[in-house]
Amino acid sequence: QVQLVESGGGLVQAGGSLRLSCAASGSIFGSNTMSWYRQAPGKQRELVALITSGGIINYADSVKGRFTISRDNAKNTVYLQMNSLKPEDTAVYSCRLTMRYTYWGQGTQVIVSS
């Protein structure tokens, strides 16, 4: 059974930083994509960033230049470094792992105050 566990969320002031982590366990194939999604109250879930096992990276336009996604393949862990946070970044952030099937973590709350 594949499991994803996120950590690192919390409450920060605008302009601050947080680093989210997502550790995957179970039967992980070498070829996969790990990504971060977020969902704000009253909004649909949206893709924030993704990174493939081959190193291909994509970001949402709203976070380019502020967020950085990275991964440690040996540890099956993906990170999201979030800098210059804005109140609009407030959301539940969830980790997704895609191989033959798709797996989701339970999410971690990020709140950015004005």
| Residue 104 near residue 47, CB atoms below 8 Å | no
Name which residue leads in pLDDT, 71 or 29: 71
Predicted local confidence at residue 39, as pLDDT:
98
Predicted local confidence at residue 66, as pLDDT:
98
SS3 (DSSP) at 63: helix
Please give the average per-residue pLDDT across 64-88, as a whole number: 95
Predicted local confidence at residue 73, as pLDDT:
83
Q: For the segment 12-67, what is each residue's pLDDT rounded down to a tens digit? A: 999 999 999 999 999 888 899 999 999 999 999 999 999 999 999 999 999 999 99
Query: Which long-range CB contacts under 8 A does 40-47 form with residues at least 24 apart?
Result: 40/88, 40/90, 40/91, 40/92, 43/91, 45/94
Please give the average per-residue pLDDT across 78-105, as a whole number: 97
Predicted local confidence at residue 103, as pLDDT:
97
CA atoms within 13 A on the CB side of 12: 21
- Single-letter amino acid, residue 92: V
Predicted local confidence at residue 8, as pLDDT:
97
pLDDT band per the 50, 70, 90 thresholds, residue 7 = very high
Predicted local confidence at residue 29, as pLDDT:
83
Q: What CA–CA distance (Å, rounded) separates 26 from 90?
A: 30
CA distances from 95 to 14, 26, 69 (A): 23, 15, 11
* Average pLDDT of every residue of the chain: 96
Burial 11-33 (b: 16+ CB within 10 A, else e): ebeeeeebebbbbbeeebeeebb
